[in-house]
Structure 1
Amino acid sequence: MMKPRLTIFDEPMLYTEGLSKLLSQSNIFSTIDICNSLEPLTKRLKDQPPEMLIMSSNMLMLTELCKLTENIISEHKNMKIIIIGNSYDVIDIRKLFNKGIKGYLDKNCTYDEFLKSINILLLNEIYICDHAKEKMISFISSEQEKHNPHIREPLTRREMEILKLICDGNSSKDISEKLFISINTVETHRKRILLKLNAKNSVGIVKYAIENHIID
């Protein structure tokens, strides 16, 4: 298998040259080129496009990085782009992935994580650094809490089934007959649903179901 070519679009020179030397020792790439401005990068992409491109937020504003990524990917669909960002927030990172990048690293990442990201991209997978991943997880959690401020933990499939039957006006006896389970089991599920939804009674359950479009 042929070794890929790499282009680094970043500055300052001292840092990029050091990075280039370190990467040369890793023996992953056939060639490593450095572009410290947009002009040589454009020429490189036109004359001899690399298989992998590392671009830094030092070089362009986020909106320009997004636009450049979009343009590059439209011309070179298989190029693997890694962005080294300045602690971008989750929405911006998602935007870059939508434009076609395959890897995202924050500037505070270690060289080991940087190497790991390269190896993962070479396996045709995507990579998000640990720091950004933690931000994504906490972002998703807070979004879920925003949409369901009263829900402590998600309802199970069986609890969702019972919730719908309660909303249809079924008694515990009706539910036990329909689902072939004991009334005690239905009551246990009902208590758990009330607890999870922070509801006092069936009215609270119905209100939750309507607000969250579980029933119309």
Structure 2
Amino acid sequence: MMKPRLTIFDEPLLYTEGLSKLLDQSEIFTSVHICNCPQALAMILQEDPPEFLMISSNMLILTDLYKSIENITSNNKGIKIIIIGSDYDVIDIRKLFNKGIKSYLDKNSRYDEFIKSIQALLHNEIYICDHAKERMLNFISSEQEQTRAHMRDPLTKREMEILKLICDGLSSKDISEKLFISINTVETHRKRILLKLNVKNSVGVVKYAIENHIID
């Protein structure tokens, strides 16, 4: 397999030059090129696009970064983009992947993690650094907590009564006659039960009731 070429789009800082030297020694790439202005990058992408492109958040604000990635990926389908971000939010990182990046590293990521991301990309996988992955896991668990909090919105005594009758297979008309309430009232209770249990229909209600041992 031919070795890919890498272009680093970043300010010519000491760490960037140090990184390119380390990568030269690693012999992963046939060439490592540092590019530090948008015009030069545009020319490279137009004339001889590399297989790998690393973009630093030093160079573009987030909204411009989104646009830039969209343009690059639409014109260069095979290019693998690595973003070096500055502790971006989980939602921003997700959006970057949706736009077409293949790897996300934070600025505090170590060199060995950068190499791991390169190896993942060489195997056509995506890569997210450990620091960002931890933020994502925390974000997902807090989302789940919110969902659970919503699910804990308890059913009233009347809703529980109606839930059990739904599980017995009674129609809204049967329930209204049994409980001496109007069909409209039963329908309102039904809607609230579906909403609170986060289910779509009576089958979902029955499934929830069985799983939570409300009925046998």
Per the normalisation by structure 1, the TM-score is: 0.73
- Distance in 2, Cα, partners of 1:98 & 1:86: 18
1:127-165 Cα deviation digits (max 9, x unpaired): 01111111111111111221220658xxxxxxxxxxxx9
- Distance in 2, Cα, partners of 1:129 & 1:20: 20
CA contact (8 A) 1:145 1:151 kept: no
Q: Which amino acid aligns with 1:126?
A: I
Shift of 1:39: 1.3
Q: Which amino acid aligns with 2:55?
A: M
Residue in 2 that maps onto 1:50: 50
Q: Indicate whether 1:213 and 2:199 are aligned.
A: yes
**Equivalent residues in 2 for 1:35-114, closer than 5 Å:** 35-114=35-114
Shift of 1:43: 1.0
Q: Which runs of 5+ in 2 are unaligned?
A: 153-162, 170-190, 203-216
Shift of 1:69: 0.5
Shift of 1:75: 0.5
Shift of 1:168: 2.5
Q: Which runs of 5+ in 1 are unaligned?
A: 153-164, 172-205
TM superposition outliers: structure 1 runs of 4+ over 4 Å: 206-209
- Distance in 1, Cα, partners of 2:48 & 2:13: 21
1:147-186 Cα deviation digits (max 9, x unpaired): 220658xxxxxxxxxxxx9562339xxxxxxxxxxxxxxx
- Distance in 2, Cα, partners of 1:169 & 1:100: 47
1:59-107 Cα deviation digits (max 9, x unpaired): 0001111100000000001100000000000100011001100000011
Per the normalisation by structure 2, the TM-score is: 0.73
RMSD: 2.3
Residue in 2 that maps onto 1:186: none
Q: Which amino acid aligns with 2:201?
A: I
Residue in 1 that maps onto 2:166: 168
Q: Which amino acid aligns with 1:99?
A: K
Q: Which amino acid aligns with 1:77?
A: K
In terms of Rg, which structure is larger? Answer: 2
CA distance 1:68–1:149, change in 2 (3 Å): same
Q: Which amino acid aligns with 1:137?
A: L
- Distance in 1, Cα, partners of 2:130 & 2:94: 15
CA distance 1:208–1:135, change in 2 (3 Å): farther
Q: Which amino acid aligns with 1:61?
A: I
